[in-house]
Structures are given as structure tokens and as C-alpha cells.
Amino acid sequence: MLQNRLGKELLIFDGAMGTQLQNAGLSAGDIPEELNIDRPDLLRSIHKNYLKAGADFITTNTFGCNRLKMEEAKYEAKDMLLAAVENARVARTEAGREDDSYIVLDIGPIGQLLEPMGTLTFDEAYDIILEQVETVKDQVDLVLFETMSDLYEVKAGVLAVKEHTDLPVFVTMTFEQNGRTLSGNDPETFINVAEGLGVDALGVNCSLGPDELKPIIDEILEKASIPVMLQPNAGLPCLEHGETHYHVTPEEYVESMKDYMARGAAIVGGCCGTTPEFIGKLAEAAPKAVAERTVEKKTRVSSQTQTVTFGDHVIVCGERLNPTGKKKMKKALLEERYDELVVEAVKQVEAGAEVLDVNVGLPGIDEPETMKRVVRLLQEVVTLPLQIDSSEADAIENACRYYNGKPLINSVNGKDEVMEKIFPIAKKYGGVVIGLTLEDGIPLKAEERFEIAKKIVNKAAEYGIGKENIIIDCLTLTASAQQKEVKETLRAIKMVKKELGVHTVLGVSNVSFGLPNRPLLNRTFLALAMEAGLDLPIINPLDAELMGTIDAFHVLFYKDVDSQTYIKNQSKDKETKPAAAAATTNFTLKDVIIHGLKDEVEKVTKEELKDKEALTVINEVIIPALNIVGKDYETGKIFLPQLIQSAETTKKAFEVVKETFSANDGEEKGPIIIATVEGDIHDIGKNIVKVVLESYGYKIIDLGKDVKVEKVVEAYKKYKPKAIGLSALMTTTVASMERTIKALHEAGCSEPIWVGGAVVTEDIAHNIGADYYTEDAMAAVNLLENEILIL
């Protein structure tokens, strides 16, 4: 049984399927999955060769076999899936490996971006993947999601498998040289979310060779507490005579992989460029047992692109997304004006919060549906982890299902019936749970609260929830009514930290209700609580004095080494924080673009146009704001979701501005032709470039995907573009890119041609005759704005 071997024996995966099919004659534009029916003997031969080489797993030829990608295939996706699994089954039998090898259902990216980056919804992604899984779930041994670049898509897939099967799930993501996936996921966040969802193994595949992937693999081996799976490419691709080649030899590949095996990799194989020879030598060199790894389990919560780790410093949870005592927010929730909550969230982010509490509990609203909508809107704009705050289990589950990350769940208490409702949700979606030390009321003594905390921790363990996924709230009492018991909260914190070894949280401002000069009491109590061991104060981050108290504490308790953060935040000559951080300040158009507030942009753009000319707004507000966004993206401050959100917001601003243009004002720059070349059905990268270029005012002629050479030439003659951009994601279609460039030159095209895509490098661009190479959307903007100077 696989589970008995996983993590104990070092297991061998197969190598590249695509490389084998290309060597057998697969051409650009061919659909590999059709070969499951057209050439079953070829597929069975490939599987047998990997099994004979020593592979313990054979991966079905189903990487793109979903209904979206297979729309133009000559067979139904279901039939190709069934044929692929049958080919693997026959190959395993003929190789005599039925008892000690495993058939893997291979699932690659769907091929469309999920919201908010694209238009595909989470539920649609779930349904597409479920169709694949349901078709063959009784005929495979496990499911592998590979070459993934979006954790949200991974979550949809893992849930689809786990809610309908008992199959093990492996996940490998593909990372770029900046250490993140296309959608901005870093290894730590990937690990935190995937482990929370209960996957059986995780790791990295594709994109780079074993040496180039070293920093990413090192981090995964250091932080992952489950088996680690590694399938690098055979080095970086090179184009020779119109074909893509990899020059790392099997011996060099294995030599690089030995170190990872010695340090605890549990599953090793290969991706692009690797062959049965690679796998054979890898199997020969692999030790029989998995080397032991020691991984410290820490309390971590994550958004899609950002992980917050407890223990190193006091973490601020912003409290302002809660209608309690806030008439304006209550009104906004009842009237479904959720943009006001998004604006409030951004203000807290700018003020220094690291987690945001989200509470929408009000009489008269559908809390589960409202919580889902608010969470989805917030994660479009802010990158901080969210704390799902509700007393209603359905609202918590709805939020956790659609949350893109590992959430903080607020809360359970000591009542068995409450824990029995919430702990299964936390286990399923991988959340960190806050436990309130109360049952029928708040105990007066610290010892009584400690006993409830202990009960919560022990009960969580029965559901498979470790202490690292529990945070205890010892509860703040009001000094005006229960003055004697305030110090019991502080004693309880110390007991919980010492005896249970879990982190703690408090709603700080409760202490001052009913007394004058509340800020004084709040910051004094906060200082005492932090000294007692408080890790997560839930406070108003717009209160500069409270935030300053935390900065001072970090200095005095040696958590802010060399006082760097304190100096940055508290020195008199510090940079003024953006206006968005002020509670009473409205957002400017610049703020709205930077934060991607699509619902605010029309209103503020019209305000700007009241006393400014249209071109002034473009040149002095919109473009400078976009440049800030571009710089933040290039420096890793924001990632693709935020870049696209800002681009879409800017497009809306341009639409408003254009309504005021006279006939000769504000002409679009361009036109620019873009296309994914013939034979390539992947257009995610091209679509991202389109959105971002349009936000800069370029007129884009998008020819789509799998565009024949003749169509590109016809478009060139028809539109007379100022530049042409070509994209390719598959190694087999780089040759199509070269043919397209050659045909354009033969048609008299002297305009700049730039190329990009996952398999394209600067060397390849030069070799195929392109004028320029760009690695991402912002690089394309910089090229057109600074090098080509399109007008």
C-alpha cells in the first residue's frame, strides 16, 4: 500500500512524457492526449520503459485533458482519460509491476486564470477538475496536480479529489527564478496551504533544472513536514535547428539530485528533457530509505501570496472590519455596499496591520453568503491573511471554502457542541483556530480559563489538529465592571504560554469600556499583555499610539534588532504614510489605482476631472500611479493578482477620461498586435500582457491562441501595427514562433517583434530572429515605453 511506503522508502517517479512524445514525432499543434486513442502502443511503450528503468509511478498522458483545453480535440476528454488510464494499466501488467507500482492521474493547469486574475470562478474550476477525477477515480492509485502556478486552482482541485474519493493527492508547483509562481505564491505559503488541505506529498516540478531550483528546494526541505517530491527539468532549454534541447546529461542530473535525496527528499523523478535513462540512473543512485528531516512546526496563517509566522514578533490584527458599534459599517453591510469594507481594509493595511479580522454578523442579513462575498472581494485587493470571525458555523465554512490561503478562524469555545461544529471545518480547510476560554460564561480565575484552554487543545488533537494550529484567547474583561479580574487575564496568558505552548490573542480595547481616556488604558493594558506573552492583539491599527507601543515593546524585548523598525516608524523625519492610512481621508485616484479599487475608480476619476484637463489626469495622475504599481511588482512588493487588479482599475479610469476627450485628444498608443503562436493553446501569459498594456493606453489587437502564421501576416498587413508580440508556452511551439517571425520579415515587416513565454529565453529570442525578449507583462510595458517608444 502506498501510504505504508510514503515517507519511508525513497520512491521514484517517471520522467517527461512530452519529451518522449516529441521524440516519437509529436509536432507543434498536435494534441498529445489524442495519442491515447490514436497510438496506444506508443503510450504503453513509454510507460513500460519508465517502469523497467525503475520508476515506482507512471503518470497518465492527461496533463491537459479537461473539457476547456480539449474543446478542439477530435475525441471527448472523458474518452481520452479512460484510454490513458487503460494504457498505463496494460503497460504495468506487461512490465510485471502490478504489485509494486502506481498509476497516477496527471492533472495540469486548467488553462484559464481564476478570479480575480481571470474570469474562471472557483466553482467552475472545481467542477472541471471533478469531471476528470470522477471519470477514472476507481482505476488510478493517486492524483497528481503538477506544474501548478495558482494556489487557488490547487485548492479547488484538492477539494474535488478529497470530497469524492479516498485517493492520495500529490501537488507540485512550478516556480520562476524570482522564487515565486506566476501568481505570486512563494514556497512557504504553498507549504502552509497545501499541508493545511491535507495533501500527501508536495514539491516542485518543471521550470528550471535541479541546480537552478536549489533555493526553492532548500526552503521546501526545510519547512515541509510531509513527504517532498522533486521533478526538475534537465536544465534550461536551448533552441537548436528549430528544436528545443536540454543539455544536462543523466549523470549530471543525478549528481545534482543526490544532495536532495541525502537531505530527505521522499520522491524523485524528472520533468522536461528527462528520459528513461535519467530515471534509470536516478533509481540506481537512490538510497532505499528516506533520509530523516527535522522540521519545526510553527503557527502560520497565509493569504495567497503572504504568510505570517507567529513567535518572532507581536502580530497586529486589524479590528475595524466589524460592524459592532459602527453605524456606518452596519449601513454599508445592510445595503450591500461592500466597497466601503474594502476601503477600510486598505486603510488598515497601510497603517501596519498584518492580519485583518472580518466580521459581518448583523440581524437581517444572510451571513454565510455575505461572508463569502466580502472575503472574495477583500482578497482581490489586500494581500494580508484574513481572520474569519463569526459565531455561525455555516458562515465560517463558506468563508473558508472560498478563502485563498490558510485562514485564521475566530472561534471556538469550551463547549463540546461548538468544537464539534468548528473543528471539522478547520481540519478540512486547514485553518488556525482561536479558542475562547469560556463555556457558559467567562471564568473569573486564571486557573479556570487555563483548564478550558487545555480542554480545547486536547479536543482539537482528537480531530488531528495540532497545537500549532490553535491560538488561545484568555479574554479581556472591562476594568470598569470587573477591575479585579483584569490581572487574571494576564496570569492566564502566562499559564497558557508556559504549560500548553500555544500562541495567544486578545481583543485589547474591551478593557477600557465605560472609562474616560480609553486610549491610555488600552495602550497600558497592551504593554502588560505583551509582556505576559500576548502574540496577536486585535486592535485599531489606525491608533498611532497603540502601534507605537508595539514598536517600543519590540525594541525593549529584543525582537526588533538594532531598532530598525522602530526608527523607521517613529523617527520624526520618517516618510509620511500615504493618505489612505488616515481614518478620515478619502482616497485619491492615485490611491485607487495603486490599491486596485475598481468600485471606487469611476467616482474619484470624475472628481479629478472637475478641475483638471483629461490629459493632465492621464499624465500627472494615472501614469505615475501605474509606474508605482509597476515598480512594486518588479521589486516583489506586489504580485500578479494585484498587478492585474490595478490594470483593470486603470482601464476603468481611462474609460471615464475618454468621455471628456475632444476629437483630437488622447489617441490610443499603437496599435500593437499580440498572439500565441500556432500549435500553442496556452494564452494565460498573453492575456496578462494584454490587460497591462491596455491599462497604459495601448490599443491591442489580440489574435488569440494557436494563431496560424498566415493569420499573423494578414493582421500585420491589415492593422499596420507599431509592434508585434508573440507568445509560446510549449517547447514544441518555439519553432512556430520562428516561422512566424520569418514570414513577417518576408512580408516586409520592419516593426519591432518581441517574444515571451515560459519556454522562451533571451538566447532563444535572438536565435529565432526576434528583436526583443520580455519575461513578463511589466517588462513588455518597459520595452514599449522606454525602448521602442510607441506613440
Q: Could you tell me which residues are annotated as the binding site for Zn(2+)? A: 206, 271-272
| Phi, psi dihedral angles at 455 (to 5 degrees) | -60, -45
In the block, cell 463555556 appears at 439
Rounded CA separation 183/144 (Å): 20
Amino acid at 274: T
Cis check: omega of the bond before 671, within 30 degrees of 0: yes
Residues contributing to the annotated binding site: 206, 271-272
Contacts of 391 (CB under 8 A, 6+ apart): 361
Instruction: Say if CB 405 and CB 432 are below 8 A apart.
Output: no
Find the Cα–Cα–Cα–Cα dihedral 482, 484, 486, 490, rounded to 10°: -150
Q: How many CB atoms lie within 10 A of CB 122?
A: 18
Q: At what angle do helices 276-285 and 250-262 cross, to 10 degrees?
A: 40
Amino acid at 654: F
Residue among 774, 733, 738, 771 at smallest CA distance from 752:
771
Segment (H or E) for 544: helix 544-556
Contacts of 8 (CB under 8 A, 6+ apart): 289, 290
Rounded CA separation 261/258 (Å): 5
Instruction: Compute CA distances 573 → 539, 562, 577, whole Å.
Output: 26, 18, 12
Q: What is the DSSP annotation of 281-325?
A: HHHHH--SBPPP-------EEE-SS-EEETTSS---EE--S--TT
Partnered with residue 104 across adjacent β-strands are 59, 142
Rounded CA separation 15/58 (Å): 9
Instruction: Say if CB 760 and CB 734 are below 8 A apart.
Output: yes
Cis check: omega of the bond before 232, within 30 degrees of 0: no
Residue among 220, 217, 195, 199 at smallest CA distance from 208:
217
Residue among 202, 286, 211, 285 at smallest CA distance from 246:
211
